[in-house]
Structure 1
Amino acid sequence: MKTVWEYSPETEAARILHAARQTAVGFYKTKGFAILPYGSALHGKNLVFLPGLPYLSIPRFWEKAARINVDSLPLKIPPRLLKAVISLLPSQSPHLPDKSLVQLWDRYQNQIIDQIYCLIPGRKDWIKQIIIQPTNYGTGASFNLLTKAPGTARIWLRSDQGISAIVESLLTILTRYEVLNHLSGLWSESEIIVDWLLAYSPLSEILEKIDPGYGMSLTIRSTRIKQIASLTTESEKFLSEIGAPVIKLNTMKNLPDHTWPARQRQLFRLLADRSPDLVTFDEIHGRLFAGHPDSFSLYAISKTVQRLRDLLEKNGVSGSFIQTRRREGYLLYS
């Protein structure tokens, strides 16, 4: 299998816009990530790095970033916006991938891919090519999801990450779509599956040899570590300096929900009024299906929730603000 390592001002600008989008809609906030300026002495899977650029010099930058669709890679970015971000990048030599990392991956790639296919035989030969774009920014890694074979696995790999981040990305590329769409799973549940494979499957024997200490940076463990007050303060200060929007409950309550379909509007107002408390399935049914006591259906409720999440996304707010509690109900994160 061929792995291509590619870097250009265009790929780095696209990465910044990807991270800006996830910042603007509040995705990172709901998943436990802290956003810090690039160059911070801190490192970890729970950190997102952005350069301290004059983003507000680009008219309506954060609004434009929030509208970027990040469901697939490569991103479809308006050329003028991409060019504007490139113009803000500091003049420096292209960030080439670490040669030792490239050599290490070349050495162990086939062994790792074969082991992944042994663990997930239903995905054998799904990956025809891997494209890795090294970057200084964003989360430790971001990637596309494969829904059919064969396909290209595309990975943004942050410069402080190693082989384990590539392996984690490939496992997620092959499994997350089914977890979310066929099993009605959550982002965190998808991450737990991959973390388990990294920690306890035969892959761990390979990683322990070539990427020592990888187990301390498993995604869910990292994002569930309680952030110290100073880290939260530093992140909020940086976001304020770069003019990033901060989504709070009042922000969401000011959304134009009067234009939404009645059922989604009723659900949104119920969740907003009760935030951050849980709203049970029975309470949702009582509000949305009043007068139809025999129409109770968890499927109908989940479809309404998904439509509401889609409406939030269209209005520049991450759908992940609506969080699921298994066998209990939903809540609006605030």
Structure 2
Amino acid sequence: MKIPKTTFLATPETEAQRLLEIAIFIVNRFWQIKGFYLLPHDISDFSGREIYFPDLKYPVSFWNEAKRLARLKQLTMPLGTKKETLDQIVRLVPATLPEFKDIKNRWQKVEREFWQFYFATFPGYAQKIRSVEVWVTKYDRLGSFNTNPADIKVWIHWQASCGDIAEGILSSILRQKHLRDGYTWEESEAAIDNLIFNSKLHQLFPKWKPTLVGLRTNSNYALESKNYFAKLGFGGNSKLVISKLDTNLTLTEKEILKNLQNRNGAVVNFEAIGDIIWKDRAVEKYSEWAIAQTVHRLREKIQSLGFTSELIQTKRGEGYYLLS
């Protein structure tokens, strides 16, 4: 069986893009709304929620580029940043790059068995994958990935396990399908966690920890993170995001968002949203498909303005709720 070639790399350019990617999720409030903790230093007692983003002298152009990329429907690796902008960010990156010899050696010992499982489970992708690049980083231990099943790229922390590489590859293939099927970020993560944990991959990667397990762990860094977000100029939660959206929405969208906000995280059911959309004709016009399309357009508008569409969550079979 021929397996895809896997290349490991860590360069000033990949590290610069990693910092920029973290900044995108600061700008669109994903980290804040999802309850992650942003820290200006690395830590040894990582639980799953902490994001390492060094306190450097980021220029205005850095944040402007993060805001531009935050408005895109889909991010790629590389991020599509202009060379002159990337060069500015590269100059911020500390000279010491992460080592990856150890994780590369460990992956090479298990990769054939991983791909055997992968192609047996997803035979339709066997001929589609041309290459895998593992971008090793010092920043953000959660990892990340592109969504191109032909040329897979994953970001992995230099102290990560081989299971994290496997998770990145699986996410690269499956995330887009999950999004098309209406999965939330948590549901997609849970599906991939479950695939690894309840298959032979768990025996292959015994030290791997499911992403969502770490996210249920309390952190001692909440106050430090809150202060760091504020220092960077991106403090606040969903209420702040909504206040910035108000003038860009239709009357119906504003009313839906207002109802979601007034419920303080509780579900607004489909019928209530139908009443907002169709008023007195709600019984006659009611359609959960049309409601889903309305909320989808609202989410797209939120993202086009540079905020995370994860602000509005789906409660399957019931309705929608707002993350706080």
Same fold (TM over 0.5): yes
Residues 267-296 of structure 1, C-alpha deviations (whole Å, 9 max, x = no match): 223323433332111111111111322221
Question: Does structure 1 residue 74 correspond to structure 2 residue 78?
Answer: yes
**Cα pair 2:98 2:137 within 8 Å, conserved:** yes
Work out the percentage of aligned pairs sharing the same amino acid: 25
Q: TM-score, normalised by structure 2?
A: 0.90
The alpha-carbon distance between structure 1 residues 258 and 101, as it changes in their structure 2 partners (threshold 3 A), is closer
1:106 aligned partner:
108
The alpha-carbon distance between structure 1 residues 180 and 16, as it changes in their structure 2 partners (threshold 3 A), is same
Find the aligned partners of 2:195 and 2:243 in 1 and give their Cα distance. Answer: 42
How far did residue 232 of structure 1 move? 0.8
**Cα pair 1:141 1:155 within 8 Å, conserved:** yes
**Cα pair 2:238 2:311 within 8 Å, conserved:** no
2:25 aligned partner:
22
Find the aligned partners of 1:52 and 1:259 in 2 and give their Cα distance. Answer: 33
User: What pairs with 1:140-289 in structure 2 (closer than 5 Å)?
Assistant: 140-146=142-148, 151-181=150-180, 183-208=181-206, 213-214=207-208, 217-225=209-217, 227-228=218-219, 230-241=220-231, 243-289=232-278
The alpha-carbon distance between structure 1 residues 247 and 78, as it changes in their structure 2 partners (threshold 3 A), is farther
**Cα pair 2:144 2:155 within 8 Å, conserved:** yes
Aligned length, in residue pairs: 317
Task: Name which of structure 1's ranges 67-76 and 299-308 shifts more when overlaid on structure 2.
Answer: 67-76
- Match of 2:171, SS? helix
How far did residue 218 of structure 1 move? 0.7
Find the aligned partners of 2:106 and 2:312 in 1 and give their Cα distance. Answer: 41
Amino acid at match of 2:28: V
Question: Does structure 1 residue 62 correspond to structure 2 residue 63?
Answer: yes
Residues 206-242 of structure 1, C-alpha deviations (whole Å, 9 max, x = no match): 123xxxx32xx211111122x24x321121123234x
Question: Does structure 1 residue 294 correspond to structure 2 residue 284?
Answer: yes
- Match of 1:133, SS? strand
**Cα pair 2:32 2:237 within 8 Å, conserved:** no
- Match of 1:291, SS? helix
- Match of 1:179, SS? helix
How far did residue 60 of structure 1 move? 6.0
Amino acid at match of 2:182: S
Residues 140-199 of structure 1, C-alpha deviations (whole Å, 9 max, x = no match): 21001136xxx1110111112120100111111122211220x22222121112111211
Question: Does structure 1 residue 320 correspond to structure 2 residue 307?
Answer: no
- Match of 1:290, SS? helix
- Match of 1:5, SS? strand
Find the aligned partners of 1:171 and 1:256 in 2 and give their Cα distance. Answer: 34
How far did residue 263 of structure 1 move? 3.3
Please tell me the root mean square deviation across aligned C-alpha atoms, in Å: 2.0
The alpha-carbon distance between structure 1 residues 259 and 203, as it changes in their structure 2 partners (threshold 3 A), is closer
Find the aligned partners of 1:274 and 1:192 in 2 and give their Cα distance. Answer: 26
Amino acid at match of 1:186: T
Amino acid at match of 1:126: K
**Cα pair 1:135 1:157 within 8 Å, conserved:** yes
**Cα pair 2:33 2:238 within 8 Å, conserved:** no
1:34 aligned partner:
37
Q: TM-score, normalised by structure 1?
A: 0.88
Structure 2 stretches lacking a partner, 5+ long: none
Amino acid at match of 2:75: D
